Amino acid sequence: MSVDQARLTRLLQNEADMAFKRRVRLMFQALDIRPTDRVLDAGCGRGFFMKYVTELAPCKLTGVDLDLEHLEIALNQNRAKGASVARSYIDPLPFADATFDKIIFSEVLEHLPDDWGGLQEIKRVLKPNGLLFLTVPNHNYPFWWDPINKTLEGVFHTHIQNGTFAGIWANHERLYYPEQIKALVTRAGFEIRAFYPILHYCFPFAHNLVYGLGKPLFENGMLPQNMRAAADRFGGEQAQANGLNPVRVGLNLFNWIDSFNENLSENKSFMINALLLRKP
């Protein structure tokens, strides 16, 4: 089922993470969610993917996450549209075998101590012929996305994993080269239907600016109201097109740079490995 692209653009207009914007668009393209589908957002966090699904492709949607505070936000944003949430680890999941037609598993696998076990559990609850939209960060990421860690890796063979300067490595157990994630999912028994490299061109220090600086300022209520409104990831549809708002100026710049990221080659450095997988 095709989604309303104009409305999706409006919903995403406050989004500062250009890689996330591309993940959302690819998810809809890859999964083709139908009203009768049972869909799981595994590792739903605050429910951003859930928000777009409930607004644009209503279905039997469930989100699962371990963080209770995040789940409360996700439920508050999506309850009115019929979505449900469950508090759980990824391994094990509290669902019967072959429960879901389609699963969103985006930027979660790299957090799991046992990625193999987590992937097997996702496969268990997916129906035969079901589809999985999987994304993980690429180890060959662009220098300007996280210059600090890229330099530390290249010179000192280390990285920052926690705190303001953690960048792409924030709370991650690992990053994946394309051949590594392809080999892992193939060994797990999935059929790779499509592979999408996401985001090469970006504003310098984009990850640190968006998540290391911007996110804490927003969550701690330290932004003026007009800037807070422009930075609210759930508030895109109500956003005002004020060109003088500093956040809006930054978003316009980010979007202009991101416009060069169409049709990327796997031979470039890029941010995210995105895969559409099928369970035989």
Q: What is the pLDDT of residue 80?
A: 63
Confidence bin at 108 (pLDDT 50/70/90): very high
Domain boundaries, the chain: 5-278
pLDDT of residue 201: 97
Mean per-residue pLDDT, 149-154: 97
Residues 58, 237: Cα–Cα separation, whole Å: 18
User: Confidence band (pLDDT; 50, 70, 90) for 251?
Assistant: very high
The model carries a pTM of: 0.95
Distance separating alpha carbons of residues 247 and 157, to the nearest angstrom: 35
Which pLDDT score is estimated for 244? 83
β-strands 191-198, 126-137 pairing: unpaired
Strands annotated E in 191-248: 191-198
pLDDT per residue as tens digits for the range 172-215: 999 999 999 999 999 999 999 999 999 999 999 999 999 999 99
Strand partners, 86: 64
Confidence of residue 225 (pLDDT cuts 50, 70, 90): very high
Extended beta strands in 69-226, E state: 84-87, 100-106, 126-137, 191-198
What is the structure's pLDDT at 187? 97
pLDDT at residue 79 greater than cutoff 90: no
| Amino acid identity at 260 | F
Comparing C-alpha atoms, which of 56, 155, 42 is closest to residue 102?
42
What would you report as the CA-atom Rg of the chain, rounded to the nearest whole angstrom? Answer: 18
Summarize the confidence of residues 135-154 as an average pLDDT.
97
Q: What is the pLDDT of residues 6-29, one digit of tens each?
A: 999 999 999 999 999 999 999 999
As a whole-number percent, the residues of the chain with pLDDT over 70 amount to 100
Cis peptide before 142 (omega within 30 of 0): no
For 136: left if phi > 0, alpha if psi spans -120 to 50, otherwise beta; the answer is beta
- Predicted pLDDT at 164: 85
Please give the structure tokens belonging to residue 214: 């911007």
Contact 89, 118 (CB under 8 A): no
Q: Phi-psi bin for 45: left (phi > 0), alpha (psi -120 to 50), beta?
A: left
Examine the pLDDT at 82 and tell me if it is beyond 90: no
Q: Between 3.40.50.150, 1.10.10.10, 3.40.50.720, 3.30.450.20, what CATH number should domain 5-278 receive?
A: 3.40.50.150
Helix (H) or strand (E) holding 199: none
